[in-house]
Each structure stands twice: as structure tokens, then as C-alpha cells.
């Protein structure tokens, strides 16, 4: 085994006592080790601000304080990211300013009122972007890339629209959006079309009207799944206030009106599963367990409507697993009646999945055992035996046969006694 020392003196002593071939092996290993070490220690190279900014690159200035929890978290995670660190170190002069220790007026200059605050400033001193609060790594990288493009004068109309979206929509922004729509820029790519939908989701009426009047055209540019989700989000935006008001009163909303909104966005043939899904989520949050389970059952049946065979089985199993997670995450303690209601639905769904699946796993039989136990069904023992056998490597078919045989033999033995 070759031991690698990073101390230069020991390194050369070792190298001088090895053959050329072994020297080459050791050197290669050292290069790999050093590269690995550098990756592990990737971080943004922040300088301490001393009253003056270098002007050879765009500036990134992060304002923080020792007591700021989100600042500490970003230092440990976001600013340690390999991709982000490499991008920032190559393209920016990065500064970290402790607002409690800094004696300059830089915090006042950039109107720092919350922490962490980060600003990107061009070489000429122009503010390119300002962000406040904890920011995820991917988002921070996007802001960094945006600032660099803006500093070099390479912003596209799409970039400018997103810049407008983060500020108050001004007359110039509305004019930019109008030109974007009239020039058919939104047709050029999925990303461009999504920009208009993002505007619509930002309560912009011009964008919303355009999407609704050109749904078929948007569907040609955007993937089917993404378009479906976008239309659902737009529908939820319209019904949001109504649902909130009903929720505050602990009452049912006007479900007929919710249905009409969904039909408006999704169409008369493609809204039912969404309606049941919204009902289930609403009743779950409201704490009406009986209505939640009923809506959840209807949602699952609607989701499975156009599927069959193994696809139906996998989808059914997946949806039941999600239901089990919801039951586990339910904040209120379930009553005995509610537990049995939940177990009854889980039992029926898993039983259907088990019939359709070619190779059920041990987890399915374990959940069947739990549900049967809650419902005090005699199948409880059977499913537990099947679970143990599948877990230990038997096929589901062999496990079921063996479990059935064991139980029958035990019943005969009991009768003989």
C-alpha cells in the first residue's frame, strides 16, 4: 500500500527512493488525491471588505452577522457547493461583510435591512441584482449567471422579463411583455413559453389572457405533463381566495364553482382527477377524515381510469404509498373509527394492487398485515407469514402457497387436539 504525504519534504524523500515506474504511480495517485481534496474543500473565496472594491471583475458582496442563522447555513451549504464556487471564483470578486463589525457605509449604500443580503455590482459600480434571505444553491447560481450576463450587456428579452417579475411591474415591463407576445418570442422554445406562464402565475392579466386564448399553441411548445401542471396551477390561483375563505369558516367551499374553474382551464374531459385531488387536500388540511378518505378514493380511481395491467398496478401501489404517508403525517390523533376507515381503504387498495402486480414486495404484505390487524381480519396472520417469507427471499407465489399450507395444517392439528 502506498502512503501519500502532503508534506513536500517527505514527498521528495519517498520519490527519490522509488523506481521511475513507481514514482509515476505515486505522482498520479497524489494528483488524484489532491484533486479529490480540493473538491471536498470547494468554497467561494470570500475576501474581507476593507472599504474598497476591486474593479477588475463583477463584485459579489454578501452581508451577514455572527448571530444570523440563515447566514451560517448558507456558509456551510450554498457557499460550499462545488459548481457554484467554481463559477463565482472564476467570474467575481467576492466579499463577505459582517454588518456588526464593518465601520464603512456599504450596508447603508445598499440599504441592507435583512440578513443575509447579497448584491452583485458591475465593475462600474452599477447594482445588477439584490437578494435578501436564505437562497438555495441552484437559485443563487442562476442569480450569479444573470448578473454576469447583465454586466456584459447580454440580457435577452426573456432575462429582462424575469428581472421585471422580481420588481414592481412597470409600464416599461408591460411594454416589454407586449412586444414579447406580439413578436411570437414565446413560440421559440419551451423556456420562452414558460416565461409567459410564469407571468400569468404572477397575476399578470395580459399574460393570463394570452395563455388562455392560445392554449392549443402553448401545448405545441410545452411538454404535455408540464402544460397540464401549468393549467392546474393557473386554476388553483383563481380559486385560491375562495378556498381560503371557506377554510377559515371551517366550511365546504362551492365545489360546483371549483369544478367550473377547472373545466375552464383543463377542459371538460380532463378535470375530474384534479377536482378530487383538490377536495382530498382540502379535507385533509381541514381535518375531516371521512371526507378526505372518500375524496382520496375517488381521486385514485380517477387517476387509474385510463390505465390497465402492470401500469395500473404500479400506479395504484404508488398512490396507496402516498396515502400511507399522509396518514403518518396527519397532525391530529385519529379516533378508533377513523383508524378503521383509513385501514379499510388501504386494505382494499393494496389488495387490488397485489392482484395486479406480478412481483409484489415484502412492504406491500407488511402493510396488508397492518391494515388487516387494525380491521381485526383473520387474514392478519396470513399476510404476516407471507411478508416474512418474501422478506427472506421467497417469491410471492411460493410465499402465499407456503403460508396457506401452514395455516391449514395448524387448523387441522387444532381440530385433532
User: Where along the chain do its domains lie?
Assistant: 8-40, 47-153, 171-220
Residue 171 has pLDDT above 80, yes or no: no
Yes or no: say if 174 and 206 are a contact pair by the CB < 8 Å rule.
yes
* Model pLDDT, residue 13: 33
| pTM exceeds cut of 0.85 | no
Yes or no: say if 228 and 267 are a contact pair by the CB < 8 Å rule.
no
Which triple of cell numbers denotes residue 196? 409567459
> Mean pLDDT, to the nearest integer, of 108-114?
94
Instruction: Give helix then strand counts, H and E, for the chain.
Output: 20, 5
Which triple of cell numbers denotes residue 146? 444573470
Pairwise CA distance, residues 81 & 343, whole Å: 44
Split at pLDDT 50, 70, 90, the class of 48 is confident
56: three-class secondary structure by DSSP: coil
* Model pLDDT, residue 333: 87
Residue 60 neighbours by CB under 8 Å, 6+ apart: 44, 88, 92, 93, 94, 95, 118, 119, 120, 144, 147
* Model pLDDT, residue 41: 54
Pairwise CA distance, residues 228 & 208, whole Å: 15
How many Cα atoms are found within 13 Å in the side-chain-facing hemisphere of 43? 13
Which triple of cell numbers denotes residue 212? 388562455
Yes or no: say if 144 and 61 are a contact pair by the CB < 8 Å rule.
no
Residue 15 has pLDDT above 90, yes or no: no
> Mean pLDDT, to the nearest integer, of 216-236?
95
Q: Which long-range contacts (CB under 8 A, 24 or more apart) does 159-165 make?
A: 161/195, 161/199, 162/195, 162/198, 165/198, 165/199, 165/202
> Mean pLDDT, to the nearest integer, of 157-172?
81
Which CATH class name applies to 47-153? alpha beta
> Mean pLDDT, to the nearest integer, of 289-297?
95
Sheet holding 117-121, edge to edge: 47-48, 92-98, 58-64, 117-121, 127-132
Name the β-bridge partners of 118: 62, 131
Residue 416 has pLDDT above 80, yes or no: no
* Model pLDDT, residue 391: 95
* Model pLDDT, residue 323: 94
Split at pLDDT 50, 70, 90, the class of 1 is very low
Residue 227 has pLDDT above 80, yes or no: yes
Yes or no: say if 123 and 80 are a contact pair by the CB < 8 Å rule.
no
* Model pLDDT, residue 29: 45
More confident residue, 169 or 341: 341
> Mean pLDDT, to the nearest integer, of 138-152?
94
Of 36-45, 115-124, 289-298, where does mean pLDDT reach its minimum? Answer: 36-45
Burial class (CB in 10 A: 0-12, 13-18, 19+), 35: exposed
Residue 19 has pLDDT above 70, yes or no: no
Split at pLDDT 50, 70, 90, the class of 169 is low
Amino acid at each position: 500500500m502506498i502512503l501519500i504525504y502532503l508534506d513536500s519534504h517527505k514527498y521528495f524523500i519517498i520519490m527519490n527512493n522509488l523506481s521511475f515506474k513507481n514514482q509515476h504511480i505515486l505522482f498520479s495517485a497524489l494528483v488524484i488525491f489532491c484533486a479529490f481534496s480540493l473538491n471536498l474543500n470547494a468554497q467561494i473565496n470570500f475576501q474581507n471588505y476593507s472599504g474598497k472594491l476591486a474593479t477588475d471583475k463583477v463584485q459579489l458582496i454578501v452581508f451577514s452577522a455572527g448571530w444570523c442563522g440563515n447566514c451560517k447555513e448558507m456558509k456551510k451549504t450554498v457557499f460550499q457547493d462545488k459548481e457554484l464556487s467554481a463559477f463565482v471564483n472564476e467570474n467575481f470578486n467576492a466579499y463577505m461583510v459582517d454588518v456588526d463589525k464593518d465601520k464603512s457605509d456599504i450596508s447603508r449604500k445598499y440599504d441592507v435591512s435583512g440578513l443575509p443580503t447579497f448584491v452583485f455590482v458591475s465593475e462600474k459600480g452599477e447594482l445588477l441584482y439584490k437578494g435578501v434571505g436564505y437562497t438555495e444553491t441552484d437559485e443563487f447560481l442562476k442569480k450569479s449567471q444573470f448578473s454576469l450576463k447583465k454586466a456584459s450587456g447580454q440580457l435577452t428579452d426573456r432575462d429582462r422579463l424575469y428581472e421585471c417579475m422580481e420588481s414592481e411591474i412597470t409600464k416599461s415591463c408591460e411594454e416589454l411583455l407586449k412586444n414579447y407576445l406580439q413578436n411570437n418570442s414565446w413560440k421559440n422554445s419551451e423556456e420562452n413559453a414558460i416565461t409567459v406562464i410564469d407571468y400569468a402565475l404572477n397575476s399578470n392579466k395580459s399574460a393570463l389572457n394570452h395563455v388562455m386564448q392560445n392554449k392549443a399553441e402553448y401545448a405545441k411548445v410545452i411538454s404535455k405533463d408540464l402544460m397540464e401542471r401549468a393549467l392546474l396551477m393557473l386554476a388553483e390561483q383563481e380559486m385560491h381566495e375562495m378556498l381560503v375563505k371557506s377554510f377559515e369558516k371551517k366550511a365546504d367551499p362551492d365545489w360546483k364553482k371549483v369544478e367550473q374553474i377547472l373545466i375552464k382551464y383543463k377542459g371538460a374531459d380532463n378535470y375530474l382527477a384534479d377536482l378530487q385531488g383538490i377536495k382530498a387536500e382540502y379535507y385533509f388540511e381541514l381535518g375531516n377524515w371521512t371526507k378526505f378518505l372518500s375524496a382520496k378514493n375517488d381521486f385514485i380511481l380517477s387517476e387509474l381510469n385510463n390505465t390497465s395491467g402492470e401500469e395500473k398496478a404500479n400506479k395504484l401501489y404508488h398512490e396507496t404509498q402516498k396515502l400511507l404517508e399522509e396518514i403518518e403525517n396527519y397532525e391530529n390523533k385519529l379516533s378508533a373509527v377513523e383508524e378503521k376507515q383509513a385501514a379499510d381503504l388501504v386494505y382494499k387498495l393494496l389488495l387490488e394492487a397485489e392482484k395486479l402486480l406480478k412481483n409484489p414486495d415484502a412492504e406491500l404484505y407488511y402493510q396488508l398485515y397492518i391494515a388487516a390487524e387494525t380491521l381485526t381480519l383473520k387474514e392478519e396472520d396470513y399476510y404476516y407469514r407471507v411478508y416474512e417469507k418474501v422478506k427472506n427471499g421467497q417469491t410471492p407465489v411460493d410465499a402465499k402457497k407456503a403460508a396457506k399450507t401452514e395455516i391449514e395444517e395448524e387448523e387441522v392439528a387444532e381440530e385433532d387436539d
